Amino acid sequence: MRFESARDALKHANEFHQKLVVFYQKLAKDENMPRTQLLLEYMISEEKKLAESLANYEKNTPSGVLDTWLQYANDQEILKLPIVKNHPSTQSMDDILELSMQMSDELIAVYQVVAEQVDEHKVKDIFNNLADMQWQKQKRISMNFDRFMDI
């Protein structure tokens, strides 16, 4: 997919978070282990918060700022849902954490590439903030993962 504007990049990331919500909901529905279900419910909550944050960025950014044109062609292999090789109920908590980190790393990479491409400081700041927000999410999930392991 080719991003035409910063707004398109935000919308694509928002859609990706929404798809991750559905993906994690399916894993949670098929999961038999209560701890793993709890981890998945937590990840669903985090993805919903991020999707809402992206919608708020778009809504609250001054008119015209997100209409900055980008010359960035999104690689078709990034921002795609992972393919679960095993039956979902056989995914370990470590597998799920690894999937989450992989998806976060891909989003961070997209945000950083967009931030590096634009000259408009407001747009650059938005995408740097989004990369930081995604990194903070990774950190929270990793810390809470350790807590889930203690349950």
Q: Is the pLDDT of residue 21 over 70?
A: yes
Q: Is the pLDDT of residue 20 over 90?
A: yes
**Contact status, residue 4 vs residue 66, Cβ threshold 8 Å:** no
Residue spans per domain, the chain: 2-150
CATH match of 2-150 with 1.20.1260.10? yes
Q: 93 pLDDT band (50/70/90 cuts)? A: confident
- Decide which of 44 and 10 is more confident: 44
Question: Could you report the per-residue pLDDT of 23-59, keeping only the tens digit for each?
Answer: 999 999 988 888 889 999 999 999 999 999 999 988 9
Sequence-distant (6+) residues with CB within 8 A of 83 are none
Q: Is the pLDDT of residue 85 over 60?
A: no
